[in-house]
Structure 1
Amino acid sequence: MLTFLFSAVFCAAYLSPIISHVEGTDFTEQEMSHYSLFCKSYSLIMTSLFVSLSFFLTLIDALDTLLILGNHTEFQRVATLLQDMVDFDTDVNASVFETNIRVVGGLLSAHLLSKRAGVEVEEGWPCSGPLLRMAEDAACKLLPAFQTPTGMPYGTVNLLRWVNPSETPVTCTAGVGTFILEFSTLSRLTGDPVFENVARKALRALWRTRSDIGLVKPFDLDQAIYRTIMLLQTFLYDPRFPTLYGMHKGTVSMPVFQSLEAFWPGLQSLIGDISSATKTFHNYYSVWRQFGGLPEFYSIPQGYTVDKREGYPLRPELIESAMYLYKATGDPTFMQLGRDAVESIDKISRVNCGFATVKDVRDHKLDNRMESFFLAETIKYLYLLFDPENFLHNTGTEFELGGLQDDCILSAGGYVFNTEAHPLDPVALHCCSRYQSERRELQDILISLSEPLRPATDQSEETPGAGGSRESIALKPGERRKARVLSCPTQPFSAKLAVMGQVFSDNS
């Protein structure tokens, strides 16, 4: 109940600015008073009611939404709170898939956005930082799930005791193939390749299970893997993925539309198939208008909901598609979906302390719960739909500097959203190579060698080891330089090159 109470109050404040933005007006005095009431309630909850890990997971999932909506002060406060309070050494069973997209993805996104939020970042950011270390800690808790004969992870892991020996080996394709975005980001930022390696191994193992026409077995969550695979070429600059994982034609196995599938028009727009995307979107939109939301399952032949799947948990997928299509076309039809979404959520789901999941779209009965993805995704995509000037829509006109010597351009646009709508900056992946410091050292050596050599001084009478004495790097005619003997611990990079006879260093 605590998680629901916090989440509901949290999103009540989020929906108000969206409604105001849609109507094209500024905050009214009444709206401002509601926002003030939220802040007071929010502060009471934040300072006194810490009783469950799920409470903190909601905060992690919603953290980057705070920044995107412009609340930098609260972003800073929550980020500090999470660093002080969250401990992943907890005896709790967790979904490997959900923990990755919500916790690891949420922490990585918040880490990459922290400088924009006014957080005083560490030297060398984004290659270091407390939120990055938290993401690494969370991901390490998931690694035992990948210790299988195939490399495909188990679906559940205990954060303290690893995988239960009785854990089922059955999992879905999304639970196997979607780790590549978060885990590759983590490996590139930290320099530890283990995360990207296990994610790639799992994805390759999944590909080997394909049928003769190149398809893998479908499942409810598998919408996530299609989006992930399509984004890989751009995110990792790896041309192998479109070749290895192209989808081919298949036959209809069940004439049922699932609300999770409504991401598809947005994905079509990203590859430039606007005509097909628009047609698909209007089909989904007609279902939305029929019920004021998308039921989990909708029978296409019957034109109605499927028994026991009539709920609408405030999912974001159709709103996500509307955002991408409006950005691609400027067609006001997609903006209208956003208006309809805000209106229906406000009228159907509002309760005294916020908004609730719709248990049944046929009579609009409500459930006593709300998923954190409403804060992380639905609210975010709605806001971005109505805020074309948001920094996430940046096309390269703005940027910020990062890296060990502020020589890395970040936040220049091209953000990639993970399955939970956490934006990741692909440029950041190339700022933190494990060999970056060695490359800089080599660059400094080459620059120094390009300078004119100073005349060598006669050191024949100098006492070996005398303070300040150095052997001249100049060689006499016919003289060969003797290679230095390798020793432990590992020598600096310049010494390695000197041993190989490629660069001569004076050790200064």
Structure 2
Amino acid sequence: MIKGMGLSLIDSLDTMLIMNLTNYYKHARDYLAETLSWDRDIIVSVFETNIRCVGGLLAAYDMTQDEFFLKSAVDLGDRLLNAFQTPTGLPRTTVNLKTGAATNPSWTQQSSLLAEIGTLQIEFSYLSYASKQPRFAQKAMAVYDHLLTLMPEDKLLPIFINPDDGKPKGTDLVSVGALGDSYFEYLFKYWLITKKASRWGKEYFETVESILNTLAFKIVDQDEEMWYIAERQNKNINHKFDHLACFFGGLLALDAQHAPTEQMRERHMEIGKGIGAFCRKMYTMNPTRLPCDFVNIVGNTISNPIAAGKGWLMRPEAVETWFILYRLTNDTKYQEWGWDYFEAIEKYTKKEYGYTGLRDVTDSQKLEPDDVQQSYFLAETLKYLFLLFSPKDTIPLDKFVFNTEAHPLSFFEAQ
């Protein structure tokens, strides 16, 4: 439990259902039904609470049609809506679930983050669809409408946006890694999950083409072509790649099934595979075969960070991409890569009562656990590993979309 929210239980409900862990699921469901309350005087991240808790509850509802999950998601959604009470309708970063007071942290200069305000649309729209209460979708989609008014010619929005005046603030950082990542993901996935019945697909493909034209780079390692997406700040290219950005390979492979031209489909699949290979290298370059949280690239050389960033935070993004690539190509090398990851997890991170992150994965003889089991390890990492070896009709990609926390929701018609 985190702040009484039952975070790991909610985040792993659909994992238990997918793995057919019926007894565990029933115990978790009954426990939540008896104890879960959102009427708590606690400050939470709107983004994290949405993707983990609203998303987890809605995925459990989608799979079971259990009204308890939908009712709880509506209650939580209403409390998160307080964050949208700004002059522009752009939500603030945190909100008190009981009082409704919303704030932004000082480190963002009181701005909201692109990834956070752009990663609400799937859950809030599905919540409106399932509950037949349009207020959730209306608030979330108004954010997209506002972002359109800020869209630069190259379609690459900056990370920091002030919710009071609605304008970009501070640095013009552009990244598909931390702080920006899931905005790009949701532009495409919202369009897909709502049966392509909106303009957001066009916005997505124009945006991603700009990313590939300006920030995508190819390197060759032992005759293997690999791709990565760099960052841009103040018009300067920074050749740094976050493990968080590994999701982008799977996103490109998935969008290649729906892109408007054959040339785009071929290019996106090629680069998607290349990112999958690059992320694999982030694992195999270390003796633990676990990745650092980011790498730097100079020429054809990939190097780990010198100080901060050497840890393994139990992240799922690489295996997410390998899962999608396997589903789309039938190439069993992606299963081999996933199994290698699983064996490293078992060898280096398994403890008596769970699993732990590691502070430095570059030296297998000096491993220090961080003593934290992230809820997304259950929601995403283990789920994607399981699905990598599951039949293709288990959560098929032509009927479900995974939110950014790997909670699957079936296609629906936007309200």
TM-score range, shorter chain: 0.7 to 0.9
Q: Give the corresponding residue for 1:157.
A: 95
Q: Are 1:143 and 2:143 matched, yes or no?
A: no
Q: How many residues align?
A: 350
Q: Are 1:288 and 2:283 matched, yes or no?
A: yes
Q: Give SS of 2:16's match.
A: helix
Alpha-carbon distance in 2 for matches of 1:74, 1:370: 18
Shift of 1:206: 2.3
The one-letter code of the counterpart of 2:187 is: I
Alpha-carbon distance in 2 for matches of 1:365, 1:189: 45
Alpha-carbon distance in 1 for matches of 2:400, 2:104: 40
The partner residue of 2:389 within 366, 386, 389 is 386
Distance 1:324-1:347 versus aligned 2 partners, 3 A rule: same
Q: Are 1:348 and 2:348 matched, yes or no?
A: yes
Question: In the TM superposition, what whole-angstrom CA distance separates every residue of 1:434-463 from its partner, at most 9, and x where no partner exists?
Answer: xxxxxxxxxxxxxxxxxxxxxxxxxxxxxx
Q: Give the corresponding residue for 2:4.
A: 53
The one-letter code of the counterpart of 1:135 is: A
Alpha-carbon distance in 2 for matches of 1:60, 1:271: 29
Distance 1:374-1:285 versus aligned 2 partners, 3 A rule: same
CA contact (8 A) 2:292 2:310 kept: yes
Alpha-carbon distance in 1 for matches of 2:382, 2:344: 13
Aligned identity (percent) is 31
Shift of 1:343: 0.8
Shift of 1:114: 1.5
Shift of 1:165: 6.2
The one-letter code of the counterpart of 1:84 is: E
Distance 1:250-1:325 versus aligned 2 partners, 3 A rule: same
The partner residue of 1:268 within 231, 243, 252 is 252
The one-letter code of the counterpart of 2:369 is: L
Shift of 1:241: 0.5
Q: Give the corresponding residue for 2:137.
A: 196
Q: Which has the higher strand share?
A: 2
Alpha-carbon distance in 1 for matches of 2:198, 2:392: 32
TM-score of the aligned structures, taking structure 2 as reference length: 0.80
Alpha-carbon distance in 2 for matches of 1:229, 1:190: 23
Alpha-carbon distance in 1 for matches of 2:330, 2:105: 49
- Greater Cα offset, 314-323 or 145-154: 145-154
CA contact (8 A) 2:357 2:372 kept: yes
The one-letter code of the counterpart of 2:281 is: S
Question: In the TM superposition, what whole-angstrom CA distance separates every residue of 1:26-49 from its partner, at most 9, and x where no partner exists?
Answer: xxxxxxxxxxxxxxxxxxxxxxxx
CA contact (8 A) 2:402 2:408 kept: yes
- Greater Cα offset, 271-280 or 323-332: 271-280
CA contact (8 A) 1:112 1:424 kept: yes
CA contact (8 A) 2:10 2:52 kept: yes
Larger radius of gyration, structure 1 or 2?
Answer: 1
Shift of 1:276: 2.1
Question: In the TM superposition, what whole-angstrom CA distance separates every residue of 1:234-261 from its partner, at most 9, and x where no partner exists?
Answer: 2123230022343124354311010100
Shift of 1:52: 4.6
The partner residue of 2:26 within 55, 58, 76 is 76
Q: Are 1:277 and 2:272 matched, yes or no?
A: yes
Distance 1:228-1:166 versus aligned 2 partners, 3 A rule: closer
Shift of 1:310: 1.2
TM-score of the aligned structures, taking structure 1 as reference length: 0.66
CA contact (8 A) 1:68 1:390 kept: no
Alpha-carbon distance in 2 for matches of 1:171, 1:350: 36
Alpha-carbon distance in 2 for matches of 1:58, 1:267: 26
Structure 1 residues not aligned, in runs of 5+ = 4-50, 116-120, 122-128, 396-412, 434-508
Q: Give the corresponding residue for 1:424.
A: 409
**Structure 1 residues 86-485: aligned runs within 5 Å:** 86-114=36-64, 121=66, 129-164=67-102, 169-217=110-158, 218=174, 220-237=178-195, 238-245=197-204, 246-247=206-207, 248=210, 249-250=213-214, 252=232, 253-272=237-256, 273-291=268-286, 292-301=289-298, 303-306=302-305, 307-363=307-363, 364-388=367-391, 391-393=394-396, 414-427=399-412, 429=413
Q: Give SS of 2:319's match.
A: helix
CA contact (8 A) 1:145 1:155 kept: yes
**RMSD after superposition:** 2.0
CA contact (8 A) 1:359 1:365 kept: yes
Alpha-carbon distance in 2 for matches of 1:257, 1:131: 37
Q: Give SS of 2:112's match.
A: coil
Alpha-carbon distance in 2 for matches of 1:295, 1:221: 18
Shift of 1:71: 1.3
CA contact (8 A) 2:59 2:407 kept: yes
Q: Give SS of 2:47's match.
A: helix
Question: In the TM superposition, what whole-angstrom CA distance separates every residue of 1:318-374 from its partner, at most 9, and x where no partner exists?
Answer: 000000001111112111111111111011111222210011111232211121000
CA contact (8 A) 2:320 2:384 kept: yes
- Greater Cα offset, 209-218 or 150-159: 209-218
Distance 1:65-1:103 versus aligned 2 partners, 3 A rule: same
CA contact (8 A) 2:243 2:292 kept: yes
Distance 1:349-1:167 versus aligned 2 partners, 3 A rule: closer
Distance 1:287-1:76 versus aligned 2 partners, 3 A rule: same
CA contact (8 A) 2:104 2:112 kept: no
